[in-house]
């Protein structure tokens, strides 16, 4: 089973088992990680924005145009920003590490 590491806003890392087929957002919610996901993974917000560690970014599938549009709304956007709801875990991503951004912007409120 793949593992994923979340690095919180204070720099503390937590590693969890991440069943294949779940999204980063789903794994975060299962383990109480502070990622909002206001649209519940329907690609209608940017509140599940994560910053993928650079060594993992090129291993991800390419972001869709819809994801890119939502990322444009994200707070603290970086070159390795992605939406957690769009990263689906598999064995190739065993060890994936993502950072939580300093804040989020929720346009759904």
H, E, C per residue of 56-87: HHCCCCCCCHHHHHHHCCCCCCCCCEEEHHHC
The confidence score (pLDDT) of residue 22 equals: 97
CA distance linking residue 91 with residue 81, whole number of Å: 21
Q: What is the pLDDT at residue 102?
A: 81
Mind listing the domains of the chain with CATH numbers? 3-99 (3.10.20.30)
pLDDT for res 33: 96
Segments of the chain with pLDDT less than 50: 107-109
């Amino acid at each position: 089973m793949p593992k994923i590491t979340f690095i919180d806003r204070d720099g503390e890392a937590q590693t969890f088992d991440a069943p294949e087929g779940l999204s980063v957002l789903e794994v975060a919610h299962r383990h109480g990680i502070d990622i909002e996901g206001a649209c519940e993974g329907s690609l209608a917000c940017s509140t599940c924005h994560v910053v993928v560690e650079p060594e993992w970014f090129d291993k991800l599938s390419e972001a869709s145009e819809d994801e890119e549009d939502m990322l444009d709304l994200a707070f603290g956007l970086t070159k390795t920003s992605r939406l957690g709801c769009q990263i689906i875990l598999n064995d190739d991503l065993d060890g994936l590490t993502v950072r939580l951004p300093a804040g989020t912007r929720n346009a759904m409120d």
